[in-house]
Amino acid sequence: MNVKLIGFTANPETLAAMAATLTHSKKKPEDLSQIPAQELSKVLRQVMKLGHTSVIEHSSFTFAISDVSRSLTHQLVRHRIASYSQQSQRYVNLTDPNYVVPPTIAKSKRMKQAYEDTMQVIWEQYNKLLTLGIPAEDARYVLPNATCTNIMVTMNARSLLNFFDLRCCLHAQWEIRLLANRMLAEVRKVAPVIFKNAGPSCKTKHFCPENKKTCPLYPK
């Protein structure tokens, strides 16, 4: 899995702080940029503490994500307040085997071999269909959820907080949890105030929506 933050709103925290300031100011929006950075930062910290997160919707972040499974992206696109552009299996011939191996399978030599043998058969049949003139959009029907794919994702900061709340949880599926934690590490570099307390709800809200009392992070 490769995850990289490739674009984001210029001065994401300043912009969010300006939006928050506007709601309690007589100043025009275009004049808010003249407010000292230290004062704007104080405003942002306060609104984040109060949970008034609508203002951070003005800041968005774009990620380049590669070598993840179709199983992961099926989960990812359920987060609807986002924009997605994904590698097409209709227009791209995936002639070379490229797939994700779950850790539970990788840790067993016997199971890993059986898994890889299965993938080899699948790709042989996929390439056979292409050779017989079957269009890639139909040949792809035999490909597994493990097939690697690439995707670009853009979310605003508020949607990202919700995404991290759900997907950084220890009960989230392992691959999307890994993705969420890597995305969180990326955005903290450019918006540390907004994402300072981001993460699973057990940490951010001291509440477990799964009510899993056996979880090591379950609020005490």
Catalytic (active-site) positions: 167
Q: Quick check: 17 and 40 in contact, CB under 8 A?
A: yes
Rounded to 10 degrees, what is the CA torsion of 145, 103, 164, 204? 150
3 closest CA partner among 153, 218, 210: 153
Q: Which of the 8 DSSP states describes residue 26?
A: S
Query: Whose structure tokens read 């209709």?
Result: 90
Q: Which residues of 40-69 are buried (b: 16+ CB within 10 A; e: fewer)?
A: beebbeebbeeeebebbebbbbbbebeebb
